[in-house]
Amino acid sequence: MSWYRNTVWFVKGLREYTRGGYESASKHFNPADVEVDVGGRSFLVTGANSGIGKATAKEIARRGGTVHLVCRNKERAEVAKEEIVTETGNQNIFLHIVDISNPKEIWKFAEKFRNEHKLNVLINNAGCMVNNRELTEDGLEKNFATNTLGTYIMTTALVPLLEKAADARVITVSSGGMLVQKLNISDLQSGNGPFDGIMVYAQNKRQQVVLTEQWAKAHRNIHFSVMHPGWADTPAVRSSMPDFYERMKNSLRTEAQGADTILWLAVSAEATKLPSGLFFQDRQPVPTHLPLAYTHSPPEDEEKLMELLEEFSQKFKSVSPG
């Protein structure tokens, strides 16, 4: 049935995930939702030097927020920071160089950040789609290390800081690709069988949905959400999915259109009127499973995922102070 689910997802995507889908959905948006002043509030955006992450950071900066850019590449990050400051006039833009695929770096960064800054909103945007199975220096499969474990550690490490904040929020950027994947806790690092980078990425994105639902239950004072930005024209799409890009490039959303729902979830009062833990597309909560799909998993598997990720994360926490 996987071919059927993939076909359904692709056809659904053609209709909803493209620029045309955004333009249709945006007719029902209330512009006032995001026409807000967020001066005095602090936002952290991972993967903020390009694409949707940079577009999100720029829009928050325009609204007066203090923005912490967490990026891997120092040169590109400095260029992005300068662009954001120049275009928005907001000087409260701070740069942190962190590789989200390196759990030791994340722990070290988060511990330092907790001691030096406040935080109202965490936006987990950093991600990767590596099409061949690659291991990090820690022996972790790179997609898992970045998309799942990196997101898990960054969030759990900063939850104590967020719990001190007013109107705290965590937004994780997922993908509609997760709709074709059932949570698989037996092979988190994709070491069994043929390696399909697109499906591994989709599995990671399913894991992010489960993480968000579990965090929402555990931390009632923080509003958690996960979202699909649609298919946007970003450097990551061009490099990791070149065939898809060539086929769809005339229909892809702009980076700003892809970032719209992230911005809405980060700054609007309307977003937090909805329950914590939901999956969003174009400012609306949407189902996390296709009709009649075999992608539902038992609660014990979802709880086990959290246990496994906690075990992974603690292995790397012990190498840093605190």
Q: Is the dihedral angle over the CA atoms 90, 52, 239, 309 positive or is it negative? A: positive
Tell me the residue type at 127.
G
Q: Is the dihedral angle over the CA atoms 208, 213, 216, 222 positive or is it negative? A: positive
Catalytic residue among 17, 201, 245, 294: 201
**Hey, what are 241's tokens?**
């999915």
User: How many angstroms separate the Cα of 192 from the Cα of each of 89, 97, 163, 209, 311?
Assistant: 50, 33, 39, 23, 21
Is 201 among the catalytic positions? yes
Range list of H helices, 163-223: 197-218
Q: From its phi and psi, is residue 226 left (phi > 0), alpha (psi between -120 and 50) or beta?
A: beta
* Span between the terminal Cα atoms of the chain, in Å: 48
Dist. CA 20–CA 319, nearest whole Å: 48
List, by residue number, the catalytic residues.
201
